Structure 1
Amino acid sequence: MTIRLKPIAEQVIVITGASSGIGRATARLAARRGAAVVVAARGCDALDTLVAEIVADGGRASACATDMTDAAAAERLAAHAIDTYGGIDIWVNNAGVAIAGKLEDLSEADARRVFEINFWGMVHGCKAALPRLKDGGGVLVNIGSVTSDVSAPFMGLYSTTKQAIKAYTDALRIELMMDRAPVAVTLVKPAPIATPILEHQRNRMDRQATMPPPFYRPEDVAKTILSAAEHPERDLYVGGAVRLGSALARAFPNMADAASAILGPRLFKTGKPRDDRPDNLDAPSRPTGARGDTHGRWSRPSLYTALMVGPIRRFPSAGTIARRVLLGIRSR
């Protein structure tokens, strides 16, 4: 199996969940680097604004309003990309929502809705993208989270969906290797990112919700996604803190649980009363930008990410080398 990837400037990239945050930042950066971008989300207004921004900046972009919980809509998105630009090189499954609250306080309806969007939306995206990616080769990028590795209090349901995404992604990668399909699969695991997630999520707590610092910038995730578009890896972390925290939690799980139990109420709640703002669980997000409110906590660029998508990227990881060796042995 040989995967031949085009430079970003020659790629067609489909991005779901593009109305704000990571998806919006990725669309802007991809278009600035010359890619043709197809952006998808439930809300038309935010997509139209994004496309207008990209076109005004000299880029190529097309919008397709899509509810990823609908498998047929995901298929229409794939068809739209092919009709508009002639193919698909990279598909980014980024659509997602969050809900803050203790697990026992969440209704079954809310829980099912989060799973419909985060997990099943990703599944529908994979199934729509794969037949097209197999035709000419390409990359499937699924957006996980640090919570794909380490569950978080008051974000238990979100953590569950992100771990389900990781399991599905890992199994799918193996099956594509079995079939010698020319498709690479990358799971991106961001740390807390300064997107509008805290403004858009449903909150079932008595206080406004937040996340533990440090917050990194959505542009760091965008750079990581585009790095995977040209140099795919199995897993890519965004933010040095998440890389270290994930490793420590796996090495010392009981200690990590105890620390989360002690610090959780301070790290995931603010001192401000809940304001009951509109959320995006059942309706599209209000038009916003790539960055969002972090309750006064400063967001910073990630040095770790800058290194991983820059100089270090030239050197394949041990996992990539081992994969190439095993595939070479199998081909013989």
Structure 2
Amino acid sequence: MKYSLKPLNEQVMVITGASSGIGLATARAAAKKGATVILVARNREALLDIEQQIRAEGGKAFHCVADVGRKEEVQWIVDVALTECSGFDTWVNDAGVSIYGRLEEVTDEDNRRLFDTNFWGVVYGSLAAAQHLRTKGGAIINVGSEVSDVAVPLQGMYSASKHAVKGFTDALRIELMEDEAPVSVTLIKPAGIDTPYPLHAKNYTDKALTLPQPVYTPEEVANAILEAAVHPYRDIMIGGGAKVMSALNKRLPGLMDWISSRIMSKQQVEDEAPLNTAGSLHQPSQDGEVRGNHKGYVMKTSLYTRAKTNPVATSALAVAAGAAVIALINSNAKRNGRRQRTEPSEEVVTSRIVVVQQDPLL
């Protein structure tokens, strides 16, 4: 399939969920690279502030207050793009909400609301974008999750919604390919990202919420999204940790179930009282922040993701990193008179996968 994706500085980019987190990081990064951004979220005040900030820095931005879980409001986004910019070139479906709670505890009302945003919002946005881009070409970028591949307890329905997003995205891509439409369809699957996500989640637990390690910066996801806007990718996973989880779940699903049942619930809560149990499930939260309040270490970059989006430069770095590790191991072995084994970091392990051009099962 031949795609025609414009340089970022010639693009109009629609970004849902643009009032915080990954969406906001993407909007700011795109505007700095010269793209015109159309900011979409439910929080009018936050969108106006962000729009003004981008314009004050010399960028081009418009906003549309819309709930992506309502089909008629998604059409408003298209109308704004047509009125202000004569259309768009890339549509990023980033809007999402979450619920922390055991499956039997969560109400049907909350579960349906979650699916309205996470799944139907992606469906409505993607189909509207596909209709507009079918003849002119462009990119549709859907933000899934590492839990598009691996389910986790306490966020069971969120996991289900992201599995559904993956299935829909793959089917849409195939149908557009079948029609020979010049539309690139990419699924982004981030690991834990330091955004206000835990603060915005509906909380059925009696504890504060957090993210299991490893956790990465929102800017790393934004970089991948912008890469997919100018170069066609089928999918991009953010973080070697997410790739390892996905690979293990494919190879050893029973083992992953057992591990998750022992540790995953504990890794998603803290021994503190929750600040806000309602979150942004049914109403907008106070937005405008890219980062959350994650207390653990946040990885600024992912060697795995950089290798995926820039394999030539990163493979050289990976070879150098691998050589350094081997040299260190050999040095230790000689010093101690026997060969020693080390436990490299998650990203060093990932770099070894890159050097061998990735195991086909990964």
Task: Identify whether the pair has TM-score above 0.5, normalized to the shorter chain.
Answer: yes
- Aligned residue type for 1:86: S
Q: How many residues end up aligned between the 2 structures?
A: 316
- Aligned residue type for 1:299: V
Residues 92 and 303 of structure 1, relative CA distance in 2, 3 Å threshold: same
- Aligned residue type for 1:184: S
CA distance in 2, matches of 1:197, 1:281: 11
Matches within 5 A, 1:150-169: 150-169=150-169
Map of 1:303 onto structure 2: 303
Give 3-state SS (helix, strand or coil) of 2:13's partner: strand
CA distance in 1, matches of 2:97, 2:182: 31
Map of 2:102 onto structure 1: 102
Residues 101 and 278 of structure 1, relative CA distance in 2, 3 Å threshold: closer
CA distance in 1, matches of 2:110, 2:180: 39
Q: CA deviation at 1:303?
A: 2.6
Matches within 5 A, 1:163-178: 163-178=163-178
Deviates more, 1:296-305 or 1:72-81: 296-305
Matched, 1:223 2:223: yes
CA distance in 2, matches of 1:116, 1:139: 23
CA distance in 1, matches of 2:16, 2:225: 13
Deviates more, 1:112-121 or 1:262-271: 262-271
* Higher relative contact order (Cα pairs below 8 Å, separated by 6+ residues): 1
Q: CA deviation at 1:311?
A: 4.4
Deviations 1:171-190 (A, max 9, x none): 11111111111111000000
Matches within 5 A, 1:172-321: 172-294=172-294, 296-301=295-300, 302-312=302-312
Give 3-state SS (helix, strand or coil) of 1:123's partner: helix
Matches within 5 A, 1:113-152: 113-152=113-152
Q: Could you tell me whether the CA contact under 8 Å between 1:196 and 1:288 is conserved in 2?
A: no
Deviations 1:8-63 (A, max 9, x none): 11111000010100000000000000001001001101111111111111110101
Deviates more, 1:261-270 or 1:162-171: 261-270
CA distance in 1, matches of 2:3, 2:314: 17
Percentage of matched positions with identical amino acids: 43
Q: Could you tell me whether the CA contact under 8 Å between 2:204 and 2:277 is conserved in 1?
A: no
Question: What is the root-mean-square deviation in Å for CA atoms of aligned residues?
Answer: 1.7
- Aligned residue type for 2:161: T
CA distance in 1, matches of 2:63, 2:244: 37
CA distance in 2, matches of 1:11, 1:168: 25
Structure 2 residue runs of 5 or longer lacking an equivalent are 316-356, 358-362
CA distance in 2, matches of 1:285, 1:133: 32
Give 3-state SS (helix, strand or coil) of 1:308's partner: helix
Structure 1 residue runs of 5 or longer lacking an equivalent are 319-332
Q: Could you tell me whether the CA contact under 8 Å between 1:68 and 1:125 is conserved in 2?
A: yes
Matches within 5 A, 1:37-76: 37-76=37-76
Q: CA deviation at 1:273?
A: 2.4
Q: Could you tell me whether the CA contact under 8 Å between 2:203 and 2:278 is conserved in 1?
A: no
CA distance in 1, matches of 2:82, 2:227: 23
CA distance in 2, matches of 1:89, 1:8: 9
Give 3-state SS (helix, strand or coil) of 1:273's partner: coil
- Aligned residue type for 1:71: K
Q: Could you tell me whether the CA contact under 8 Å between 2:201 and 2:277 is conserved in 1?
A: no
